[in-house]
Amino acid sequence: MIQPVVHITKLNLKYRHKPVLEDLCWTINRGENWLLCGASGTGKTSLAKAIAGLTHSYGNIAISFDPESSLPAMVYYVANWFQFKDLEGQSNFYYQQRYNKQAVETTATVQVELESFGKKYGLELNTAEGILTALGFSGLKNATLIQLSSGEHKKLQLVKALWLKPQLLILDLPYNGLDTLSRQNLNTLLEEITESGTQLILISNEPDLPVCIDRIAVIEAGKLVEISADQRNQNEPEHLMKPVPAFLSDVPVPFSSEQVVKMVDVNIRYGDKQVLKNINWEVKAGEKWVLHGHNGSGKSTLLSLICGDHPQAYANDFHLFGNKRGSGESIWEIKERIGLISPELHWYFDPSATVWQSIVSGFYNSSGLYCDPGYTKKAQADELIHYFGLEEYKDTLMNELPLGKQRLALLARTIVKNPELLILDEPCQGLDQQQTRHFNKLVDDLCKNGTTLIYVGHFEAQVPECIEKRILLENGEVKSVKTIAQKTYTN
């Protein structure tokens, strides 16, 4: 007789009084490894948290662990976001705080975090070395948690889970923020732990998955529906593109300089660690760039210089919009001309703001809204809410939205002021495939008006067609700069 590990019957869950899961039934038998995929906002994360006992639901969830297994008899859930605290137990960090020396000194290192996790679960640190090496994380043991990029935080979560090897492991969007090699190595590691007895529930819409995945399901109308691999690979019908709001069709404010970014032998160092080395890069007005590089290559640090967040900009030969940094401009004058979205900005964004407030805050480069924006700005925010299909969420708090809807609201915030320079750092994290295609078409349309673009994306499908130039970082140095004719990205 086949032994079910998870048996769910008539599971019901509501979100803000709206049904998400309705009489859902699901049986996971021993030895099965499932992929849970499909559109953003259908309830995949809610279901995962219910199985892990992290959210309240109605119905029956029975979990039967194998008493003969040497693996921990537990469900271990890895969320898309990693929430950490400083040494004083505080977690209310702000976006620029990762460059603050005092914040670095009051935040635990990766080594301390791993030692604490190992002590909690009775694990020897040396048994994690192979995982750390495979995910390219060995050199970060002395880094503090606040210094890690989003991809590095994702790796830290995955290291813990793979090290623990629970009987049931649930990974929510595990590939977000990972470069190509890290994704390949992660799949190999997942295949290894399933061979040792761990069972997987993988929440993802990515095409490349570990070969151990043998069952696939989606959530439709609150119920779980098993599908075949062929059904998963079928292209979804495209929604008709709405016309771009008229105010975004205008040419951005006249360029004050033909040169948007100029870096000459730029170096960034933290103590003995050099993060950027002799960077030379010039971005001219109207150009469309993609920035590539593996996790830890220096991409986030490079972007922080351009956005005015990194204090070491003043110690380098670095120009923005034709002006040398430190020549009298304020950080807010710089940010007025830039539209930014990044995993880090999303991470630190005020979750208590509503969708509408979050979008309007883009005019002021603030996390949340603290003033009356006036008629014109209100009208433009409303246009974007309609464009992104967020009407029913207009007055919903950001932290009450599914991840994909949060990201759409922040994308609207990024473009609401029709900025001179768009910096899109993995903007499609958390979006489903249709939302990703839709957003990249929007980027292509926006860039027809002369907007300058710097785009970071690991996945080929997440790079818009308008990209014309590519810069590749490797270990903090520029490995290549070239003009490109088509999308052939694999980094």
pLDDT tens digit string along 419-450? 989 999 988 887 777 778 888 888 888 888 88
End-to-end CA distance of the chain: 46
The span from the CA of 27 to the CA of 351, in Å, is 35
- Whether residues 269 and 223 share a domain: the answer is no
- Flag whether 238 is in a domain: no
- Whether residues 338 and 313 share a domain: the answer is yes
Q: Higher confidence at residue 374 or residue 169?
A: 169
Model confidence, pTM: 0.85
Give the range of the structural domain holding residue 204, as residue numbers without chain letter. 4-233
- pLDDT score at 255: 60
- Whether residues 86 and 209 share a domain: the answer is yes
The answer to whether 103 and 146 are in contact (CB under 8 A) is yes
- Flag whether 125 is in a domain: yes
- Whether residues 279 and 162 share a domain: the answer is no
- Flag whether 228 is in a domain: yes
- pLDDT score at 460: 57
Q: Higher confidence at residue 478 or residue 343?
A: 478
CATH number of the domain enclosing 72 = 3.40.50.300
- pLDDT score at 449: 80
Q: Higher confidence at residue 1 or residue 180?
A: 180
Instruction: Give the chain's mean pLDDT.
Output: 86
Last residue of a domain, one of 233, 255, 279: 233
- Whether residues 50 and 152 share a domain: the answer is yes
Model confidence pLDDT, tens digit, residues 163-183: 999 999 999 999 988 888 899
Least confident of 59-63, 65-69, 316-320: 316-320
Percentage with pLDDT > 70 across the chain: 89
- Flag whether 315 is in a domain: yes
- Whether residues 79 and 226 share a domain: the answer is yes
- Whether residues 166 and 88 share a domain: the answer is yes
Residue 356 tokens, joined: 């509408």
The span from the CA of 351 to the CA of 361, in Å, is 13
- Whether residues 431 and 384 share a domain: the answer is yes
Last residue of a domain, one of 198, 233, 268: 233
- Whether residues 255 and 315 share a domain: the answer is yes
- Whether residues 204 and 291 share a domain: the answer is no
- Flag whether 312 is in a domain: yes
- Whether residues 300 and 221 share a domain: the answer is no
Q: Higher confidence at residue 281 or residue 101?
A: 281
Last residue of a domain, one of 233, 255, 277: 233
Which range, 52-66, 93-107, 236-250, 257-271, has the best average confidence (pLDDT)? 52-66
Q: How far is CA 386 from CA 41, 381, 437, in A?
A: 18, 9, 18
- Flag whether 489 is in a domain: no
- Flag whether 490 is in a domain: no
Predicted confidence band at 490 (pLDDT cuts at 50, 70, 90)? very low
> Exposed (0-12), middle (13-18) or buried (19+): which is 449, by Cβ within 10 Å?
middle
- Flag whether 458 is in a domain: yes
- pLDDT score at 245: 87
For range 227-242, the mean pLDDT: 75
- pLDDT score at 94: 46
The span from the CA of 123 to the CA of 163, in Å, is 8
**Number of domains into which the chain is organized:** 2
- Whether residues 210 and 251 share a domain: the answer is no
Using H for helix, E for strand and C for coil, what is the string for the chain?
CCCEEEEEEEEEEEECCEEEEEEEEEEEECCCCEEEECCCCCCHHHHHHHHCCCCCCEEEEEECCCCCCCCCCCEEEECCCCCCCCCCCCCCCCHHHHHCHHHHHCCCEHHHHHHHHHHHHCCCHHHHHHHHHHCCCHHHCCCEHHHCCHHHHHHHHHHHHHHHCCCEEEEECCCCCCCHHHHHHHHHHHHHHHHCCCEEEEECCCCCCCCCCCEEEEEECCEEEEECHHHHHCCCCCCCCCCCCHHHHCCCCCCCCCEEEEEEEEEEEECCEEEEEEEEEEEECCCEEEEEECCCCCHHHHHHHHCCCCHHHHHCEEEECCEECCCCCCHHHHHCCEEEECHHHHHHCCCCCEHHHHHHHHHCCCCCCCCCCCHHHHHHHHHHHHHCCCHHHCCCEHHHCCHHHHHHHHHHHHHCCCCCEEEEECCCCCCCHHHHHHHHHHHHHHHHHCCEEEEECCCHHHCCCCCCEEEEEECCEEEEEEECCCCCCCC
